Amino acid sequence: MSHTLLRRAALPYYIGLSRSLAPKGAGIDPPLQGVKILDLTRVLAGPTATMLLADLGADVIKVEEVSRGDDTRSWYPPAAPLSPTSPEEAAHLPPESAYFLAVNRNKRSITINFKDPEGLAIVHKLVQQSDVLVENFVSGKLAEMGLGWEDCERINPRLIYASITGYGQSGPYRKAAGYDVIVEAEAGLMHITGEPDGPPCKVGVAATDIATGLYAHGAVMAGLLSRARTGKGVWIDCNLFESQLAGLANIASNYLIAGQEGGRHGTSHPSIVPYQVFPCKDGFIMIGAGNDKQFKLFAEKILERPDLPTDPKFNSNKARVANRQELISLINDALMKEGRDHWLAKLTGLGVPFGPINNIQQTFQHPQVEARKMITEVEVTVSPAVTYNGKRMPVNRPPPYLSQHTTEVLAELGYSDEEIAVLKAKKVV
């Protein structure tokens, strides 16, 4: 099936899940039901955060630019075909890129020109009625427009105001725009990604954006818990640079504790051997023997070398790291004798961590994806990643068409049909 049909077609991805294998429980009610979130974000980090909050039941109102919407709506191909309610409605709509569809489920879309005083008044009304505002403008930009933290706190003292930027609200880089690939480079991730003898390499997805969205989502939840105790709102400062710094994990600790500089190791691990991708006759396999017991099983059952676990060069992880090249060469020679499926069968159930290198099609055909229902047939999207008592939060809305809910949201704010028609004619909304 064509990838461009994924959003509008109902694909048969569900499979039966045995009742005896299904986790027990009735799930939980969406915990953010009744929470209203004003979403002034675009691209990836901010929309990821607000989508995760929408998945938990929040009413997320995504405010977009009037004619183009979120920047990522135009990041195609591929794009999904449009099927709005009328040809007239379709005439002004941009194509819906796969990029946009990935992080905007469960939201409502309203378009507002808040540089116009009437548009700004609409946003102020939304601020007054919202529990949370999430924005990812350059530091200080919304304050210039009357939508900064101080402006919004005066309107709604209970507001949780989350700012997502490239480098934070202070410091010499606070005015710099945030781009995932730039921060990957500047905050160390690109330096440690790639083959040892190759150039720095970016991660295959915008990992820094996604991590920042996850941090922001958690911070908003913390803000809501704090408000429940204090009755007061809070300004959250979340940014790509610090999220990536925090994401350096053990590589950061290696440097801060021991002065050890990070480097590129391809798929291998600087501190564990064997722990990397290995070639076989017709493909690749990731194998990670993270302790002596796992290495013993691997050596005896896969390599058929029971002598290796007692060899002083390989009898401990420290020794295996010191003699990395010799051991890796030995493993490569052994695995190249057979194809991928042969080794996958032999490794299954052995107790040694392993996995095939799957392409994206193989990933979505994975038995675990099917068994855990990780694809939802609401215009086809990836499901939320977490279950509660064995059940996921529902996906009630597909990613919205541009301005799909403008009339609906304005009516909720008290605007009459005539007033809405005038605002639309003036291109305020």
Q: Which of 357, 372, 388 is the endpoint of a domain?
A: 357
Same domain, 334 and 229: no
77, amino acid identity: P
Q: State pTM to two decimals.
A: 0.86
Write the DSSP symbol of residue 322. H
The answer to whether 222 and 148 have CB atoms below 8 angstroms apart is no
Same domain, 283 and 243: no
Q: Is 418 helix (H, G, I), strand (E, B) or coil?
A: helix
User: What percent helix, strand, coil does the chain show, rounded to 5?
Assistant: 40, 15, 45
Active site residues: 209
Same domain, 295 and 339: yes
CATH code (residue 329)? 3.30.1540.10
Same domain, 414 and 331: no
Q: Which of 332, 357, 382 is the endpoint of a domain?
A: 357
Same domain, 285 and 230: no
DSSP bridge partners of 236: 162
Same domain, 403 and 307: no
The answer to whether 249 and 243 have CB atoms below 8 angstroms apart is no
Same domain, 229 and 348: no
Same domain, 171 and 318: no
Same domain, 243 and 279: no
Among 411, 401, 407, CA closest to 424: 407
CA distance 149 to 142: 8
CA distance 340 to 342: 5
Name the domain count of the chain.
2
CATH code (residue 44)? 3.40.50.10540
* Sequence-separated (6 or more) residues with CB below 8 Å from residue 135: 40, 41, 46, 142, 147, 161, 162, 163, 164
In a domain, 128, yes or no: yes
User: Could you give the maximum distance between any two Cα atoms of the chain, in Å?
Assistant: 85
In a domain, 269, yes or no: no
Query: Would you state the pLDDT for residue 85?
Result: 58
In a domain, 261, yes or no: no
In a domain, 3, yes or no: no
In a domain, 22, yes or no: no
In a domain, 17, yes or no: no
Same domain, 210 and 118: yes
Same domain, 162 and 107: yes
The answer to whether 35 and 132 have CB atoms below 8 angstroms apart is yes
In a domain, 64, yes or no: yes
Same domain, 241 and 291: no
Which residues form the domain of 346? Answer: 275-357
In a domain, 227, yes or no: yes
Q: Where would I find the H helices in 187-316?
A: 207-230, 240-246, 249-258, 292-297
Q: Which of 357, 373, 408 is the endpoint of a domain?
A: 357
Kindly give the confidence (pLDDT) of every residue in the chain, 429 residues in length, as a single tens digit, with 9 standing for 90 and above: 233 333 333 222 222 233 334 445 578 889 999 999 999 999 999 999 999 999 999 999 999 999 889 999 888 888 777 665 555 555 567 677 889 999 999 999 999 999 999 999 999 999 999 999 999 999 999 999 999 999 999 999 999 999 999 999 999 999 998 899 999 999 999 999 999 999 999 999 999 999 999 999 999 999 999 999 999 999 999 999 999 999 999 999 999 999 999 999 999 998 899 999 999 999 999 999 989 999 999 999 999 999 999 999 999 999 999 999 999 999 999 999 999 999 999 999 999 999 999 988 988 888 888 888 887 765 556 777 666 546 777 777 888 888 999 999 999 999 999 999 999 999 999
CA distance 56 to 145: 31
Residue 10 burial (C-beta neighbours within 10 Å; 0-12, 13-18, 19+): exposed
